[in-house]
A and B are shown apart, each in its own frame.
Chain A
């Protein structure tokens, strides 16, 4: 097992390297450059050339990449010129905000997704199943940024129960309750689609298991239905459900980009969007490396959990 984990951890390195090369290339392929982005209307060729020189961007792409790489390997992610501060400070600060948001969303969607999946599977073709399946379908189909805006309109503007945006109250804020208030709407919005996906897959995984012989035997022996569902069937279905949650973790991280924009959450997704429009290569690279590493880790955790649950899965 330890060998497996180590091997997987090492395999992250080429993935990240490849990724940074691709991101670097894409960033240089998009027309426009940082100096133009900074200068706006004042971007004369002369001003652009001078500013590019000041920013150290007059070197070749290959040269720039290797400078970045060797600095990064020594822990120096460079300085973001669009934010005027070290990339690492910014990324870590923002990433913790994203982790709180997407972590909460992941817990919500796992909990609700699995519960709805089990309920609907237990009552296949019944009314509960039909209604919940319908709700789940709507959940999957609603564009989440739109849902977010509607929730803001209802709970912040009309009812004034919850703040419309941000992570903490802007004055005298802080503390867990304050965070929870700000977290509720965005995490709920972010979890809706993933809840739907997890619910559907849990339902089919459960149905698959419920059809098997050992369940029938259990029922014939008179094991209570609750115990059949939650102890026997669910445990067996988990092997299928865990990887789905692993994949959803990635989607939740990705979806955070819109949700962070709508709810003004100070996370890494919104940072990346701004960095791209500012052509802030170093910030984009730093953000991508951290997010990708985290994504790979999530998947690794899901794989480990799966192989632990089901020894048949090769480690």
Chain B
């Protein structure tokens, strides 16, 4: 029996004695710690930022966001023209581009991509479902005029069209690869991007290798390995032990660990806003003064600095500053002023009101919702509002909040990440977006002037004109306070010091073509 013990002991000692070089990652291969296993590598079929991080390196769209901004620039399309009425967009395509499977990229391919997503009778529509296809619901028709020209006809002017094309849902896939792999295309993807798909080992890794013929210059990296590491603590441990070169979404508690000490910390505020929906239809929040009071009463600085440990910035209004071209930088966040809040509440006669507050346990972009909810509850107690918290798991939470708060709650946490300044206000602040009209205006905010501004901004194809309308909208919404504006999330990432040329983008996409290791 002692022999067995000895053998086990020896085996353990053997394993322990492995050299320290074990955890080094190979040269020219970048290993990225992701937050989850991707669902699919078919850009039309996915909705999660986690999946987008891989896709943006494998595919190109007709247009893309400029480096460090949320304005579009040419990508697979060299140029485009918009008709005066805003109904037709004609794209001139880049010539000589081929998909990773060797088939040529041309106007027919573009047509195939959008028809597959939008036309229920298309032979490959069943390779879906395509949950975000409504991004392109404005498209009436796509036509390949000649090999290098493609024309989109819209059913109504829709200004966010170009930035939706820059979104991952608009990335162009190889039609031949779709035909070949059919429903399994999401696991055998083929695009035109800087990296080619090589291997997907379930729950272990997705490997992409360099596309030597990339039209925009080949990467210096030989390959990228995306590893799903769901548990944040394990992700941190892998980063500290050198098992990965880069990690995204560092938990607030661990951010400081990666500032120096052989690591570089990257932060970038993005098109994200964290807010409280206030039920303007009934109860105390039907009174604008009480809604403003809540904005004064919440100590956003403490939330951002202590609860979120600096991983977010204070939000001033409904539009995140990342949309620099449409952002109204004249807006100031509501200052922390409990006295003012109290006097507003008294004036409205709602002193000591009891409020129901929906809090979620987690969810996309929700940051640290439970401690944030508790801190907000405490702040409101200081101004005499009795807040009762109800906490729900994310999917349940959405099922309660999206149909509207009427009869159920006075306030609810919410966060959105969008790609165009149009999206969030159009879906969540218009009168036409009340839940009964299939929108997300769960707090029933209604201001005809905001409605008019948003409709006009959506129809205009002149960016300066749109910017003016959005700035005006932000001013009104800031004053009307249909939400309590809390925070704009700063996305973060850590890289080892040996990783060079990496930069986070305000779009929250992870672009790795120009990264080097050495």
Contacts and interface: CB of A to CB of B under 8 A. Distances in A.
A162 B438 CA distance: 53
Contacts of B242: 160
Given A156-B23, A161-B18, A263-B234, A167 B204 contact: yes
Interface string B216-244: 00000000010111110110011011110
Contacts of B131: 35, 38-39, 42, 47, 51
A41 to B, nearest CB: 6
Contacts of B417: 41
Contact of B204 (A157, A160, A266): A266
A32 B20 contact: no
A180 interface: yes
A152 B241 CA distance: 9
A115 B1 contact: yes
B45 interface: yes
Contacts of A38: 47, 131
A44 B18 contact: no
Given A32-B393, A84-B186, A90 B202 contact: yes
* B1, B184, B186 pick with most chain A CB within 10 angstroms: B1
Nearest to A271: B203
B310 to A, nearest CB: 23
B128 interface: yes
B47 A162 contact: no
B131 to A, nearest CB: 5
Contacts of B241: 156-157, 160, 163-164
A47 B416 CA distance: 17
Nearest to A89: B202
B8 interface: yes
Contacts of A35: 131
B395 A171 contact: no
Contacts of B23: 156, 160, 163-164
Interface stretch (B288-296, B398-406, B460-468): B398-406
B237 A164 contact: yes
A170 B25 CA distance: 9
A229 to B, nearest CB: 9
Nearest to B29: A171
Interface in A118-149: 149
* Tier of interface size on chain B: 35 or more
Contact of B20 (A47, A94, A161): A161
Contact of B234 (A30, A81, A167, A264): A264
Contacts of A51: 129, 131
A47 to B, nearest CB: 6
B134 interface: yes
Nearest to A180: B15
B439 interface: yes
Interface size class of A (residues with CB under 8 A): 35 or more
Nearest to A34: B395
A26 interface: no
A156 B204 contact: no
Give the residue among B47, B228, B237, B396 with the most A Cβ atoms within 10 A: B237
A181 interface: yes
Nearest to A47: B134
Given A152-B234, A184-B12, A279-B395, A170 B240 contact: no
Enumerate the 6 nearest inter-chain pairs by beta-carbon distance, A residue then B residue, closest first: A32-B395, A266-B203, A54-B129, A31-B396, A84-B40, A156-B241
Interface of A: 30-33, 35-47, 51, 54-55, 79, 81-85, 90, 93-94, 111, 115, 149, 152-153, 155-157, 160-172, 180-181, 184, 230, 261-264, 266, 270-271, 274, 277, 279
Given A31-B395, A83-B37, A171-B225, 17 more contacts: A33-B395, A33-B399, A39-B131, A45-B402, A45-B438, A83-B39, A156-B241, A157-B240, A161-B22, A162-B22, A163-B22, A165-B229, A172-B26, A180-B15, A181-B15, A184-B15, A264-B203
30 contacts: A32-B396, A32-B398, A33-B395, A41-B365, A44-B440, A45-B402, A51-B129, A54-B128, A54-B129, A55-B129, A79-B183, A83-B40, A84-B40, A84-B45, A84-B186, A84-B187, A111-B4, A149-B234, A153-B237, A161-B17, A162-B22, A163-B23, A163-B241, A163-B243, A167-B204, A168-B204, A170-B204, A170-B243, A171-B26, A171-B29
